[in-house]
Amino acid sequence: MAYVTKTFEVTEPVKVNFYLAEKLNLPFSVVARLIDKGRVLMDGEVIIKKAVPIAGKLEVMYHEPTPSGLEPIFGTKDFAVFNKPSGMLVHQNGFHVESSLVDDIKHLYGHLANLVHRIDRETSGLVIASKNKKAEKQLKNLFVEKDIEKNYLALVEGNLKKERLIDAPILIGMNNNRHPEDPTPRVLSEINKDGAKSRTFVTPIEYYEELDITLVNAYPITGRTHQIRIHLSHIGHRILGDPFYGVDVQVANDYLDGKMMDVESRVERTGAKRVMLHAWNLKFSHKAKFYIENDGGFFNEEFLKRNLEKF
């Protein structure tokens, strides 16, 4: 969502929270957060008291949804499921104006609608959005209690011959302040005995002998950042297109520095145009039992050709 600033000339004293809720069609709770964050000013001064009548030049900076037009593939009165394309952010990136999945959600269902979980920008697939605060709390709790099962499809290097449980602790860390001449990659998530307990169950689906790649199903029993990508790289079957895990340090740093933007270079150095990971099914109960599935084209040879450029 883009941040926008709107200005109003208030000639008669008004309660700012009521005024903005009406003018911007925002819930009172959203207006209250804007005031608490110092994003509402009267005559250049930050407003502190929400319900004190005042008049003058009123300025407010808030998120205005800029939808992409993405529609849900399934929905109830409480939630909707979207099939997020690879490359789309789930949340806006700070004050960045790039459209995100949240823009589409709030455009369709209002400012109290929200995501209840996330997937990476380059990962495609199923994402659940709540339509109200009560449903948001209930659905997020399902994730906390591990009452939602998520499965992913991944295209990996080599021949993964049998199913296996990957039980390896992951230590999450970032090193974004490295010196330009320091070759240490800035993404430091790794298998480490001091990391958090992490488990992924992977099952081979199909082996493409001419390419020496395997389509696998990955079920993350735990939910660490980049868990599937790290675990598959750890067992010698890195995900095609991954610019961080299973590649040399220079590839990772070039990607982070924006030096690997052209398709030819990306395919040559990582194996695909994008990270070949897709959240393809969800199993959970929320007033009823739901099984939602979308394979994202990962079983389709044309899809592989478009993304690998060498099928």
E strands of 145-195, at which residues? 149-157, 164-167, 170-171, 190-191
289: pLDDT strictly greater than 90: yes
Whole-number Å distance between alpha carbons of 24 and 300: 45
**Statement to judge: residues 161 and 299 lie in one domain:** yes
CATH number at residue 126: 3.30.70.580
185: pLDDT strictly greater than 70: no
Range of weakest confidence among 85-89, 98-102, 306-310: 306-310
The total number of structural domains that make up the chain: 3
Q: What's the mean pLDDT when you consider all of the chain? A: 89
| Selected catalytic residue, list 43, 120, 167, 254 | 120
Asked whether the beta carbons of 245 and 251 are under 8 A apart, the reply is: no
**Statement to judge: residues 223 and 280 lie in one domain:** yes
CATH number at residue 55: 3.10.290.10
The pLDDT assigned to 77 comes to 96
**Final residue in a domain of this structure, among 109, 144, 179:** 144
| pTM recorded for the entire structure | 0.86
Residue 69 belongs to some domain of the structure: no
pLDDT tens per residue across span 22-49: 999 889 889 999 999 999 999 999 998 8
- Average pLDDT for residues 49-60, to the nearest whole number? 88
CATH number at residue 269: 3.30.2350.10
Residue 197 belongs to some domain of the structure: yes
**Statement to judge: residues 231 and 266 lie in one domain:** yes
Which residue range is the domain that position 280 belongs to? 149-308
Is 262 one of the catalytic residues? no
Burial class of residue 307 in the structure, from the number of CB atoms within 10 Å of its CB (0-12 exposed, 13-18 middle, 19+ buried): buried
